[in-house]
Amino acid sequence: MKTVMAIIKPFKLEEVRDALTGLGVHGMTVTEVKGYGRQKGHTEIYRGAEYAVSFLPKLKLEVAVAESQVASVIEAISTAARTGQIGDGKIFVAPLEQAVRIRTGESGSDAL
């Protein structure tokens, strides 16, 4: 099992969700986050006070998937979240040791 974590532009969430649902991914966790990569921030001005805001709002998406699905999930997210503009985000993949469905006690890939 792997966890696929993707940082995406907020307005791309629905397209990404549709793409993953199409692959048979049954659930995901989404968090509102702030950060920066190559995309620079913006300036906010309140009367005389100017602030350079370098942390931009993004969404962090976490999906747990079986090994066999990793490549297609990465492909689906990449395609759905891409605008071609700077700031589209990144995808990180990490190994996942265990998964448990709390209600039934199922574990491993059965719990995904």
Closer of 38 and 46 to other proteins (Cβ): 46
Candidates 26, 18, 37; CA nearest to 80 is 18
Among 18, 44, 67, 75, binds other proteins (CB under 8 A): 44
Q: Under the criterion CB under 8 A, does residue 57 sit at the interface with other proteins?
A: no
Q: Is 51 helix (H, G, I), strand (E, B) or coil?
A: strand
Q: Under the criterion CB under 8 A, does residue 42 sit at the interface with other proteins?
A: no
Q: Which residues does 19 contact at the CB level (< 8 Å), separation at least 6?
A: 76, 77, 79, 80
In angstroms, the first-to-last Cα distance of the chain is: 9
Closer of 45 and 102 to other proteins (Cβ): 45
Residue 93 amino acid letter:
V
DSSP-assigned beta bridge partners for residue 59: 8, 32
Q: Under the criterion CB under 8 A, does residue 32 sit at the interface with other proteins?
A: no
Q: How many residues bind other proteins (CB under 8 A)?
A: 8
Q: Under the criterion CB under 8 A, does residue 47 sit at the interface with other proteins?
A: yes
Residues of this chain that bind other proteins (CB under 8 A):
44-49, 51, 53
